[in-house]
Structure 1
Amino acid sequence: MTSSPDDLITLDDGVLTLPLATADNGTALDHELILAGAAELGRVARGDVDAGAILLSSTGKNFCAGGNVAEFAAAPDRAAYLRGLANDLHAMIGLLYETGLPVVAAVNGWAAGAGMSMVLHADIAIGGAKTKLRPAYPGIGLSPDGGMSWTLPRAVGPARARHIIMTDQIIDAQRALDLGLLAEIVDDDAVTDTARATAVQLAAGPRGSMAAIRRLVHDAAGRTLTDHVIAEAKSISQLSATPEGIEGVDAFVGKRAPDFGSVR
């Protein structure tokens, strides 16, 4: 029996879990989950849902094996179908950033095509020994979506990004770690639990700090150093006057563990 998106999207311990794929279509990107995930992220961005971190995951053996190519082929108007699918995926990605929440990815198995694109939007991507990343687009005569042609050059440099995408390289877990595409490699059967534990830890932490860190790192590529340190000074100053900032500093001085949840 196929589960509905509403059953698969969960909020526990402050972590909003957004599956991208299920076993139903061979862990291809699930359009309905993308639409449902975007709707839930919109509620988070509006303040209607209280989440502290986002976990990107899958309920199948792979994180996401890419787009459902069979559905591409079956579409009466392939160009219109692909444009709509890409627009929906990009709307979800935009909302990931709009929430300001830290994003963790549980990258089990393959992350290909749009799946690899989504890994690149995670702040912390946890993989296993069998994790593999692949652009996959040239193999079907298409170009990237999901922001891959924007995020990958920023992660590995333009020359290496062109090489990886154009030659459709399969990147194993160790190389992905070396390139900075994965943050950590764990046992394959521990990927999901480790990623969730990481997301729970982030959700329990100082949420203003997490949002500021994500924003500063993301914005750094488009700023001069002079402009960026001004933004850093403004951010640290503003955070110092928030309840979380006050609690963190006071806890440090008092030689106790901070309780950020008590001041939200």
Structure 2
Amino acid sequence: MTVTHTLHVPGAHLHYEVRGAGPLLLVMGSPMDAASFAPLADALADDHTVVTHDPRGISGSTLDDPDEDTTPDRRADDVAAIIDALGAGSADVFGSSGGAVTGLALVARHPGRVRTLVAHEPPVLEILPDAAEQRAMTEDIIETFHKEGQGAAWMKFMAGAGFDNDGCDDGAPAAQPDEPSLRDIANGARFFGHDLRGTARYVPDIAAMTAAPARVVIGLGADSGGLVTYRTSVALAELLGTRPVVFPGDHGGFLGQPKEFAEALRRTLAM
């Protein structure tokens, strides 16, 4: 059974869902919403209390100011508030893509709230040797969105990430979906207009993460070799002095293989 909740936080009302029983595990993305994680959450709910949520401004999580730009730090504060609302001192966290960046910010800003963070392919572009080129590409994608719309922006985004344009990235629709829902359109506009820049420019606080009591694991898709998030994941693991843990599939491996991915996540949390 899935129980839905709404939590008021500064500037927003957050939609989050709770299912299962056992140790607390938060599963998150950005801009990916709770519904997109449902198959993975269901596969984990036999032995975990799994919490998913819509990031602020996405799907059911509404903003007081729709023009607010979102940052990983602000999203991390939201996650800490959800942990508080659950009456828990700490939790394990799995974050994918932009949600992995949220997890990194959570460990840095709220030491002790995270037991283990599994950060699956965080797009921390600022740590790459070609960070300036990546930053320019992000700005070009955002400008394309404002001038030419979501279809053209998704095309550039997917190409820049290293995907073929018949796939999807972190819950993002294909570059030119046949029939995007009104929610898809709203989430895409939020992503390009207010979320992408803050996530792409996030610089992980290595010193804070290393000093925190949390265990930080960098996850890497077995089939992600051609993606920019392969490069960021390897680079971040090196900065943390660890080795990435390989998961099934590519950047969104949990979408196509939720049961296999859940098993790999269980093993990682138990390490």
TM-score by length of 2: 0.34
Question: Which structure features the higher share of helix residues?
Answer: 1
Higher relative contact order (CA 8 A, sep 6+): 2
For the pair shown, the structure with the greater C-alpha radius of gyration is 1
- Give me the TM-score of the superposition, normalised by structure 1: 0.34
Structure having the higher strand fraction is 2
